[in-house]
Structure 1
Amino acid sequence: MRYFLVEEMGFRNDSILILSEEETDPTRIPTKHNILMAMRWLVHDCQSGDSLVFHFSGHGSKERDYDMDEIDGFDESIWPVDHEIAGKILDDDINDTIVRPLPRGAKLHALIDACNSGTMLDLPFLCRMNREGAYRWEDQVYMSTVYKGTRGGLALCISACDDNQTSVDTTALSGGTATGAMTYSFIQAMLKGHELTYGHLLIAMRHTIREASARVRFKGPIASLVNKLLGAGWTQEPQLSSSEVFDIYATKISL
């Protein structure tokens, strides 16, 4: 992702902060505290014209919603490495930290490669697209007076799957190296697409994942175990959510 952002999208190396389990610097390990601090760093001093990217690749899950702002009754969450001690990071927390502070004229793309991630940013609108590419925007505001939008900026989330689906790391896409299916399919679509729209991005990502899944699916007595180990035969459909409604086939994606 760093290579893609720097070499293909023109981001500066010094504008990117990476947290990873392989880091030796304790402030760069993806603990709950460090992830939240990195989110605050991302939006700090954000101004009109700025383009922000938040990429998370890791575990995600659903949690019981206690503040009654979720249509399905569940919050979505990402897992820091210390989640057993510090707890998970809920979609409410992510929205508070990187969505609501976004000023007019600024843009945020969140790329969430995790299970149960369809509405991980708790944005007001979710794009429901069928297999033929027809879509409608679904209002996610539910029995809540809490504002989930921005301060005028545009926040978009491209996630690995719907809230009730799982996402996989698989060797089926990259020729032997395990990679997140969503991250891989996103980068490939962006590299191949010329003036790609958000609608065609979603279609391309879903097509890549469906083809890879079908290509390596096994059958037989131990098929479910083999498929799980290889990341085959999965069902995940990348999703798009937004702080505002727009024509996904007329709007070109630009990071």
Structure 2
Amino acid sequence: MPRKKALIIGINYAGSNHELNGCWNDALNVRDFLVNERGFSPDPSDMVVMTDERKNQGTPFYPTTHNMMAAFQWLSSYNRPGDIVWLSYSGHGGQVRDPDGDRESGFDDTICPVDFERSGQINSDTLHRSIVSPMHPQARLTILFDCCHSGSACELPFVFRPDAQGNVNMVDTVKKGMGLVRAAQGLLEGGFSMNKINDAKMLLGGATDFFNSLRYKGGSSSKVDRDGLAEEKFEEHWETEGKDVWMFSGCRDDQTSADATIAGNATGAMSWAFLRTMREDPNQSYANVLQNTRKVLLNKYSQIPQLSCGGHYDLDQPIVV
């Protein structure tokens, strides 16, 4: 029989200068949704829940870099045809500069383990190689990332984004070039607009003071520039892998994702919107889920959710979770 397997991560960075409020609740809400409504087993051999609650300190369930990398290996290993696999992450997301010119924004997305100030962020290339590449091609992995700058966090080659009217458009992320670099150059040359100013601020890491403070502390091959952003060199050929991976992310690469309070409870806006959408109609297509999640967020939040895929798949097929 096909197996259902899940890794759920929620990090509040409790007691730090970067504390969030809703990520533990996101993890709990996702767990309840998967167990009570999608037939997942809560047995630790089938479902791993990682949070930085005090009770998890010193255990494999505390989301340090080391423990998260081990959990990614567990999730992506020993999968068989027909298996249904889930990964969700709620926490901080950041960016490091990409020198290769193959990212739309000029940056690689990252996620931040609880010990990121000591051990560094986990960049998008590492996430892809650790999670997506080892997956069995006939096992389906669904990813939900509720964090800032998450649009390309796993470097899936085909990205779909809904507009305000619900139309879903594909964004070509395979060797697209650095559009925002050109915008910044236009600003420097005097042909500026408010959009270009915002693009230039993002390009220079100026979205918030928090993201300016993020530093990648990886291996000796990392080179840090004057902005404090590390350069990671890699070559992408993800479009040839054809892995059955579907990722819902809370925002575009250049956006932040809201840590919200909804109905009196702290939660990530994307996690709340996605779960609400799935509960309203469990049998929607991937395109419908993306459109309806966008609709839920539209009136209160500026972030635009995205759907990324390991191949150029039919978005009208029913979602499998």
TM-score by length of 1: 0.85
CA deviation map 1:5-55 (0-9, x unaligned): 011000111211011111234321111111111100101111111111110
List gaps (5 residues or longer) in structure 1.
214-233
Change (3 A) 1:145 1:169: closer
C-alpha distance in structure 1 between counterparts of 2:281 and 2:240, whole Å:
29
TM-score with structure 2 setting the length: 0.68
- In structure 2, the partner of 1:219 is none
CA distance in 1, matches of 2:282, 2:36: 16
- The amino acid across from 2:33 in the alignment is F
The answer on 1:111 being equivalent to 2:148 is no
* Matched position secondary structure for 1:138: strand
Q: How does 1:183-198 map to 2 (within 5 A)?
A: 183-198=271-286
Residue in 2 that maps onto 1:176? 264
Q: Does 1:200 align with 2:288?
A: yes
The answer on whether the counterparts of 1:118 and 1:239 sit within 8 Å (CA) in structure 2 is yes
| Superposition pairs of residues 20-31 of structure 1, within 5 angstroms | 20-22=51-53, 23-31=56-64
Give the alignment of 1:87-106 within 5 angstroms.
Answer: 87-106=120-139
Q: Decide whether aligned partners of structure 1 residues 65 and 79 sit closer, same or farther in structure 2, where only a CA change above 3 A counts.
A: same
Give distance in 2, aligned partners of 1:150 and 1:58. Answer: 30
Larger Rg: 2
CA RMSD of aligned residues (A): 1.7
* 1:126 matched to 2:214: no
Partner of 2:313: 246
- Identity across aligned pairs (percent)? 35
* Equivalent residue number for residue 161 of structure 1: 251
Structure 2: unaligned runs, 5 residues or longer: 1-29, 178-233
Please name the residue that 1:235 is paired with: 302
CA distance in 1, matches of 2:142, 2:258: 21
Q: 1:202 to 1:63 in 2, by over 3 A?
A: same
> Which amino acid counterpart does residue 12 of structure 1 have in structure 2?
S
Q: 1:151 to 1:113 in 2, by over 3 A?
A: same
Question: Partner of 2:94 in structure 1?
Answer: 61
Partner of 1:11: 40
User: 1:5/1:190 Cα in 2 relative to 1: closer, same or farther (>3 Å)?
Assistant: same
